[in-house]
Amino acid sequence: MIGKLRRLRRILRNGRTLIMPMDHGVSKVESGLENVEETLRAVSDYIDAVVLHKGVVKHSRIIAELEIGLIVHLSASTSLSQDPNDKRLVSSVENAIAVGADAVSVHVNIGSQTEGRQLEELGQVCEVADSYGIPTLAMIYPRGKVEVNTETVTQAARVGYELGADLVKVPYVEKFTQVVKFCKVPVVIAGGSKESEYELLRKVESALKSGACGVAVGRNIFSSPSPRDIAKALHHIIHEGMSVEEVMEYEGDLVAGRWR
């Protein structure tokens, strides 16, 4: 398990992490994904890890030189599908290792019509990853007709823990301490839909106080007019323990007005 612990330390620094998922392009092409390399260069001083699909890693000119963790995403679906919640495995642990992954991630939609198969695949990926000493990040969301609330998110996090994930990503909800209480592996919150920078920072600050170990923020960073500024502000809160007010005061004119 030494290999897994060493790889986890590249992602969880002193028990905290700022992950930037950029795997969205399979689901739907979004603003900010035009130049992944440019965005990674801009934020690499402040994020701990990035989530990418194998093709982006394979063709990257800079991944090898960046001092950030690499998480290769193994599952996908598109927004054009009759059932976008039907996530399918599109790569393997072995391929992720071949392209240099520090960890793999799998997306599971509990409450969806294909929940059973997705759970089966997550369990199998965790077993294979364990055999290679590769950490698994389980991204688990209540979907379909299932309401997103404290109860369902707690269930989602518990599923990831029980099926063998080393790190779990779930939506943020009120009473997040309940979610963390039932999940005995580190929990990160999903950045979610695009929102104001101030709302994002408040949410992250609250999640950390409730026991989350960090956040996985994608479009709220890469779709921002200034990805580096957002990543830097999140880094202050996650790794330096600064409050939102302290970040706003520290950054001065950078956040005054625009982040309120």
- 86 catalytic per annotation: no
Task: Domain ranges for the chain, please list them.
Answer: 2-254
pLDDT at 194: 78
How far apart are alpha carbons 200 and 40 in whole angstroms? 20
Tell me, what's the pLDDT at 256? 43
Q: Which residues, in sequence order, are CB contacts of 247 under 8 Å at separation 6+?
A: 201, 233, 236, 237, 255
Question: Left, alpha or beta for 14 (phi > 0: left; psi -120 to 50: alpha)?
Answer: left
Tell me how far the alpha carbon of residue 209 is from its chain's centroid.
Answer: 18
Indicate if 141 belongs to the active site. Answer: yes
Of 46, 141, 161, 172, the catalytic one is: 141
Taking residue 196's Cβ as centre, other Cβ atoms within 10 Å add up to 12
Per-residue model confidence as pLDDT tens digits over 130-167: 999 999 999 999 998 899 999 999 999 999 999 999 99
As a whole number of angstroms, the distance between CA 189 and CA 213 comes to 8
Pairwise CA distance, residues 106 & 113, whole Å: 17
Give the C-alpha separation, 2 to 14, whole Å.
17
pLDDT at residue 252 in the model: 61
Residue given tokens 């739907």 in the structure block: 28
Q: Which of 4, 54, 87, 169 is catalytic?
A: 169
3-class DSSP state of 10 = helix
Mean of pLDDT over the chain: 94
Q: pLDDT tens digits for 32-91? A: 999 999 999 999 999 999 999 999 999 999 999 999 999 999 999 999 999 999 999 999
Residue in the structure block whose two tokens are 């309940």: 178
Task: Assign 193 a pLDDT band (cuts: 50, 70, 90).
Answer: confident
Distance CA 95, CA 158 (A): 28
Q: What is the mean pLDDT of residues 176-181?
A: 98
State phi, psi for 139 to the nearest 5 degrees.
Answer: -95, 105
- Res 187 pLDDT > 60: yes
Residue 257 pLDDT more than 50?
no
Quick: pLDDT tens for 98-142: 999 999 999 999 999 999 999 999 999 999 999 999 999 999 999
Distance of CA 135 to the CA centre of its chain: 13
Length of the chain, in residues: 260
The catalytic position among 23, 48, 166, 229 is: 23
Specify the CATH class of 2-254 in words.
Answer: alpha beta
Q: Which of 138, 125, 53 is nearest to 93 (CA)?
A: 125
Active site residue 169: yes
pLDDT, residue 195, reads 82
Q: Where are the beta strands (DSSP E) in 68-186?
A: 69-73, 75-76, 88-89, 103-110, 136-142, 167-170
| 200-250 tens-digit pLDDT | 999 999 999 999 999 999 999 999 999 999 999 999 999 999 999 999 888
